[in-house]
Amino acid sequence: MYMINFKSNQARFMCQLKKTIQIVTYCGLIPFYTPRLLDLLKSIYSFQFIEISDGFSYLYCVAIIAFLSGMQWQKIITEGKEKLILLPIFPFFLGLLYSSDFLFLNPSIILIIALTLSLLIDLFILEKGYSSWFKNLRINATFLACISFFL
């Protein structure tokens, strides 16, 4: 009787944790869309809103890439894949280069490439330990973040 109750409580906790992770992830996309939303509101209403440029979204994206790279380094170390320790540096440095005229690319394109590289590292190199719902969440969040740069 106690074991059944423990398992149901654990399943309920995992379900709630999954929902919380999804909510926090999708709420984390709000800063990507904030400048576009404010531009839309300025065009509908005649008064001025606080001015937030695309630089806000770019800096936020670099912070997200740095966070993801840190998580990847931790996973590489705990899985004993020290040969791959430099791999998360590529999206991170690419993200840092967004403000320079690196390869004469638009900053949005550079950040989209960095986000995509980070996703590919998670999906194909560090795939162990990620459940299918989390992989789908990462794909969706990366896609939605990348789409924000085209609006």
Domain parsing of the chain, residue ranges: 31-148
Note whether 69 and 125 are within 8 A (CB): no
- What mean pLDDT comes out for the span 74-98? 89
Give the predicted TM-score (pTM) of the model: 0.84
User: Residue 143: is its pLDDT beyond 80?
Assistant: yes
In terms of pLDDT, which residue wins out, 5 or 128? Answer: 128
Note whether 88 and 72 are within 8 A (CB): yes
Quote the DSSP letter at residue 126.
Answer: S
Q: 38-50 burial string, b = 16+ CB within 10 Å, else e?
A: beeeeeeeeeeee
Q: Is 128 helix (H, G, I), strand (E, B) or coil?
A: coil
pLDDT of residue 1: 46
pLDDT band at 140 (very low <50, low <70, confident <90, very high): very high
pLDDT band at 56 (very low <50, low <70, confident <90, very high): confident
pLDDT digits (tens, 9 = 90+) for 90-102: 999 988 887 776 6
pLDDT digits (tens, 9 = 90+) for 105-139: 788 899 999 999 999 999 988 878 788 999 999 99
User: Residue 70: is its pLDDT beyond 70?
Assistant: yes
Angle of helix 89-96 relative to helix 54-78, nearest 10 degrees, comes to 160
Note whether 142 and 29 are within 8 A (CB): no
User: Residue 59: is its pLDDT beyond 80?
Assistant: yes
